Structure 1
Amino acid sequence: MTDRVRIAIIGSGPAGLSAAARAAQLDLSHVLLEKTDHLSDTIYKYQKGKHVMATPSQLVLRSDMEFDAGKREAILGTWDKLAAKNGINVRYRSEVKAIEGERGAFRLTLTDGAVIEAETVVLAIGTQGNPNLMRCPGSTLPHVQYQLDDPGDYIDEHITVIGSGDAGIENALGLAADAAQGNVVTILNRSADFARAKGANVKLLNEAAEQGRITIRLETTPAEVRPGELLLETRDGQETIRCDRIIARMGSAAPRAFVESCGIEFSSADREAFPKLSPVFESTKPGIFVIGALAGYPLIKHCMNQGYDVVEFINGNTTLKPADEPILAKKFERFKARRSVDEWLEMLRANITILNELSPLQMREFMLDSEVRSYKAGEVVFERADPGSSLFGIAQGTALVEVDKDNPSITVAVEQGSIFGEVGLISGRRRGATVRAGTDMIAVEVSRTAALKLMASVPAAKRAVTRISVERQLLQLFGSGLTSADLTELLDASEIQTVPAGKPILVEGDPGEDIYVIRVGSMIVEKNVGGKPVFLSYLPAGSYVGEMALIGGGKRTATVKAAVKSEVIRLPGAAFRRLMEAKPRLLEKARADMAQRQNINAFVESRKDSFSGVVDMYSQTATFLVENGIGEATDVLLIDENLCVGCDNCEKACADSHEGLSRLDREAGRTYAHLHVPTSCRHCEHPHCMADCPPNAIHRGPDGEVVIDDSCIGCGNCQRNCPYGVIRMDSVPPKKPGLLSWMFLGMGPGPGEPSKKWRYKHREAGVEKPKKAIKCDMCSGIDGGPACVRACPTGAAIRVSPENFLSVARLEEETGS
């Protein structure tokens, strides 16, 4: 027997259930097809007792089904009652195998052989049934699972959760909620930011970590799954942890084969791409509409609003506007151009390259977290050294970048469609140049959070941002009068590679002619001398290697390996050779760099017999420094123990320069030979402390210093994320009196940081001062530079950049050769 309906809705999640409720309210013939024996299988599969959030909070709910934040069980119970009350026609255990036909005459064939005829079809099937799988050795072992039903089922286990989205965080929190269960829970995040997760979930996760209930491993990925243990690829190399169970929550993708078999096209070939949709949710197959997670809107409120709206559209309501219309309209109301919200969104999407492949629905969600700004010709967008990590996309007009800080008239144009501000986004550094509008300009300012989310969820956007940032890095690195057009072939053939700590990109004696540019992290260069690896130099981000074999021919002359987990841009040697042939100035630069490296190699070879002991000591010292965080530092404090007399003047000077709180612990840290690395900020190239700073209070200063400003709220995220223990949380002590008042009247504590006894005795009665993050800022803004160095009476304390300290040039100085 064949059933005939006006609307067939596939999937009873929030989107499908809301659509069916609207159809029932409008008295439209419909059927809600659910392949299981219960409603909303996605939420049904949430872990037991999970708290379901109702975000975005500013978005009005438009649905005939009620929804508010609450426990999974309560929400499902409410929906069951409302489905019956509203008269929704649900057909359980009804999985759709195929959809054929055209608008007005679709035939849906079910796996049980039944056929449904429908005028229109609404696909609300979600993506949870198609999870992303682990792709490493051992990932098929039985203790790897992709679902967590009841956290209470697991007791006294070492459990690793892989995935930093909401599902992974909520699973980790559920497993660690009851200390009596005895679980040891670790969550892995391959990046330093939780770009895909809600802010509230990230806050709860950090609180659990602070309480010792969960271990967060940032910039860490699984390398191999073994019985009872997990091999990790970390920022500092490989590490093995105990692991009885893995719960992998790494996102999911659309059931593409089925969707495409219905005649629906996707926006691109990427696995995580979404179907092409009109503003009224209609797919490229007329009569088939797509809503919910399959449309790119995973949030429950969005899904339910879409379910309501799509039935209204199908029923002929042409005046209905989405629920977010008032919010978006407010963003555009101050502009003279009288465009509708849809027209504004389409203009921005079409004109800005990184937004080109977003659907109209994705554009709406994206703009909820972004701002449109207008600038008059010549108006400054931001100044050099300003704090800021947002990204700007030019929708109309042009921008000018002042590349010479001493001559503002020297500029480079950024054309319509391109972006600027990507340096702050990727590295967290302060603005590297002043940017002003070249002509009247309209730009979209994208917050760092929104930009990271965009790049994480839209592969095309990530590729666009990456290509532009790589292009600008190459232009800055090679100079030589190159233009963007000159690099087209090289960029098309380039490849970004992630290099684990300790892994080589070049091996001495191997053939090869590719060039490698260090994009993130750092490398060390070693040469085999007398059967031993000799440390030659340290290469920070922004350096390149490989030109010697390309220009001079022959095999690689040294080994280059990652000091910490790094990213490199591989440039094919053949394409780079053609570029050098076309650009003689580039060839001249490469030859000059090669000559400098040849001189270092010759120096080591010529002295290998006369000071082999010195070479060994130098190599061991360099290795020690890299192992202690120098590999990702931009500035580091070192103390020569042969000169240090233990006077603690460095600590006292630091405290006196910073509200009575020292940023330095001289005695802490590790020592090799006479070189001591105290506990003091390394000012990392990509600071871990910047990850998940809610008020965005951590910035880079103009000289590279990492600074925490007064907007710090004392959440402690930076302290937890710093791998070197150089950040403390403390309240600022009372202001000190003058030196004479202390000496003659005994007022206040003496020089340096007040003792705990003094602070306890003089605390304000009953007042607990709020704590804030305290760390070295290289005495930013203080004349004379770092106080610790200035106060050292013997010259034992020095601050250096690793690339200057870790080089054979330094060794040459020490030997007097």
Structure 2
Amino acid sequence: MEILDILIIGAGPIGLNCALEARKNNLKYMIIEKGTIVNSLYNYPLYMRFFSTAEKLEIDGIPFISTAPKPGRQEALEYYQGIARQKEMNIRLYEKVLNVSKDDRLFEVETTKGKYIAKHVVIATGFYDIPNLMNIPGENLPKVKHYYTEPYPYARQKVVVVGSSNSAVDAALETYRKGADVTMIVRHSEISKSVKYWVKPDIENRIAEGSIAAHFNAEIIEIKENSVIFKNETNQTFEIENDFVLAMTGYLPDFDFLKNSGIELNGDCLNPFYNMETMETNIPNLYLAGVVCGGKDTHLWFIENSRIHAEMIINNILSNPFPENITK
């Protein structure tokens, strides 16, 4: 069986960057991705715009040309998927990794379509696959959505948006402007300070004028077929009519996968262990890259500040070469 120098799990921007860095250094690599190329970006809201400017989203020094100061989802898809096409990158798509195990030296990676052997493994899986559930009655009703794509299905509907981060604010503003009756339920006392600076005044003004209702220091306690029950900071309960709930409560890495791979998870945020200089985990030659490094703190790492992980990983691999005659 062929032995890869490096197997990369995840074809997001950081996974692609790791592959490009491996290729530049003549390392035999493969990317395995459970969906399409930059699958998380594909599942973003259709009209989403990045906080970062285009040059801060570039990988491998390849120019990202955008027609706007802040590039949108479609431009990013064209950029990253275009790189994969142009470079003819070695990617296996729609193939999910089931297990990563290691003998004395080599990794065996089992997927839905086969097994692979590698000297090094990089996990660059992001965090967009597992919604952070509210764990309340009615959360499994069909009207509850943990992913938001576009506003048109919610025209003339009574919509509750849960949360106050960028995704929640975008959903509230877009659905309101397509004719929805929008109510925001926010656990904190104000709209998140991390909301994009050009959007934050918009949502605050819509709330102030009463176009969008907002309940702060509040929490949903039950979702029914035609209503939502929530409580405020004094534990008073209220029930309002409702057609859809957009639960923009965030997402989590696949902690079970990390744990089953042998990676130590620490603290309340389940921060995975890794060396901050090399990105190597407690398992020798097993690395983390990108937003997965943050555990539950999914705002810690993003494309702009984790592009450096690829070079750190490859430099560490090159500084610790394997014996030439290693076999499986």
Specify if TM > 0.5: yes
Match of 2:207, SS? helix
Cα 1:204–1:316 shift into 2, 3 Å: farther
Which residue type is aligned with residue 173 of structure 1?
L
Which residue does the alignment assign to 1:77? 78
Distance 1:204 1:63 in 2: 36
Which residue does the alignment assign to 2:43? 45
Would you tell me which structure has more helix in proportion to its own residues? 1
Cα 1:243–1:60 shift into 2, 3 Å: closer
Deviation at 1:24, TM superposition (A): 2.5
Contact 2:31 2:92 in 1 (8 A): yes
Cα 1:22–1:171 shift into 2, 3 Å: farther
Distance 1:82 1:213 in 2: 43
Correspondence list, 1:468-487, <5 A: none
Distance 1:43 1:196 in 2: 23
Which residue type is aligned with residue 317 of structure 2?
I
Contact 2:48 2:72 in 1 (8 A): yes
Which residue does the alignment assign to 1:143? 143
Which residue does the alignment assign to 2:260? 261
Q: Once the two structures are superposed, what CA deviation does each residue of 1:572-591 show, in whole Å capped at 9, x if it has no partner?
A: xxxxxxxxxxxxxxxxxxxx
- State TM-score, norm by structure 2: 0.85
Which residue does the alignment assign to 2:12? 13
Which residue does the alignment assign to 1:248? 247
Deviation at 1:4, TM superposition (A): 2.6
Contact 2:183 2:212 in 1 (8 A): yes
Which residue type is aligned with residue 110 of structure 1?
T
Within the alignment, does 1:96 sit opposite 2:97 as a pair?
yes
Correspondence list, 1:132-531, <5 A: 132-176=132-176, 179=177, 181-195=178-192, 197-200=194-197, 201-210=199-208, 212-235=210-233, 237-268=236-267, 270=268, 272-279=269-276, 280-296=278-294, 297-316=300-319
Which residue type is aligned with residue 143 of structure 1?
K
Cα 1:316–1:55 shift into 2, 3 Å: farther
Distance 2:258 2:105 in 1: 19
Which residue type is aligned with residue 4 of structure 2?
V
Contact 2:57 2:303 in 1 (8 A): no
Name the count of aligned residue pairs: 308
Flag the structure with larger Rg.
Answer: 1
Which residue type is aligned with residue 273 of structure 2?
K
Contact 1:22 1:64 in 2 (8 A): no
Distance 1:196 1:9 in 2: 34
Q: Is there any run of 5+ residues in structure 2 with no aligned partner, and where?
A: 295-299, 321-328
Q: Once the two structures are superposed, what CA deviation does each residue of 1:665-700 show, in whole Å capped at 9, x if it has no partner?
A: xxxxxxxxxxxxxxxxxxxxxxxxxxxxxxxxxxxx
Higher relative contact order (CA 8 A, sep 6+): 2
Which residue does the alignment assign to 1:550? none
Match of 2:251, SS? coil
Q: Once the two structures are superposed, what CA deviation does each residue of 1:127-171 show, in whole Å capped at 9, x if it has no partner?
A: 221211122222222211211122223321111111222222222
Distance 1:229 1:175 in 2: 18
Contact 2:4 2:119 in 1 (8 A): yes
Distance 1:257 1:196 in 2: 31
Q: CA RMSD in A?
A: 2.5
Contact 1:104 1:120 in 2 (8 A): no
Distance 2:211 2:54 in 1: 28
Distance 1:103 1:13 in 2: 30
Contact 2:38 2:81 in 1 (8 A): no
Distance 2:205 2:72 in 1: 21
Deviation at 1:204, TM superposition (A): 3.9
Deviation at 1:306, TM superposition (A): 2.2
Cα 1:148–1:65 shift into 2, 3 Å: farther
Which residue does the alignment assign to 2:324? none
Match of 1:247, SS? strand
Distance 1:14 1:148 in 2: 21
Deviation at 1:208, TM superposition (A): 3.8
Which residue type is aligned with residue 194 of structure 2?
A
Q: Percent identity?
A: 23
Which residue does the alignment assign to 1:626? none
Distance 2:54 2:212 in 1: 27
Cα 1:107–1:156 shift into 2, 3 Å: same
Distance 1:173 1:88 in 2: 39
Cα 1:307–1:194 shift into 2, 3 Å: farther
Cα 1:155–1:198 shift into 2, 3 Å: closer
Match of 1:232, SS? strand
Contact 1:15 1:303 in 2 (8 A): yes
Match of 2:31, SS? strand
Match of 1:311, SS? helix
Which residue type is aligned with residue 14 of structure 2?
A
Deviation at 1:56, TM superposition (A): 12
Cα 1:259–1:218 shift into 2, 3 Å: same
Which residue type is aligned with residue 71 of structure 2?
G
Which residue type is aligned with residue 241 of structure 1?
I
Which residue does the alignment assign to 2:128? 128
Distance 2:93 2:180 in 1: 37
Deviation at 1:248, TM superposition (A): 1.0
Which residue does the alignment assign to 1:400? none
Cα 1:3–1:94 shift into 2, 3 Å: farther
- State TM-score, norm by structure 1: 0.36
Q: Once the two structures are superposed, what CA deviation does each residue of 1:712-736 show, in whole Å capped at 9, x if it has no partner?
A: xxxxxxxxxxxxxxxxxxxxxxxxx
Correspondence list, 1:627-666, <5 A: none
Match of 1:83, SS? helix
Cα 1:26–1:174 shift into 2, 3 Å: farther
Contact 1:62 1:308 in 2 (8 A): no
Distance 1:56 1:79 in 2: 12
Contact 1:12 1:32 in 2 (8 A): yes
Contact 1:219 1:235 in 2 (8 A): yes
Deviation at 1:308, TM superposition (A): 4.0
Distance 2:243 2:123 in 1: 39
Contact 1:161 1:186 in 2 (8 A): yes
Match of 1:70, SS? coil
Deviation at 1:3, TM superposition (A): 4.2
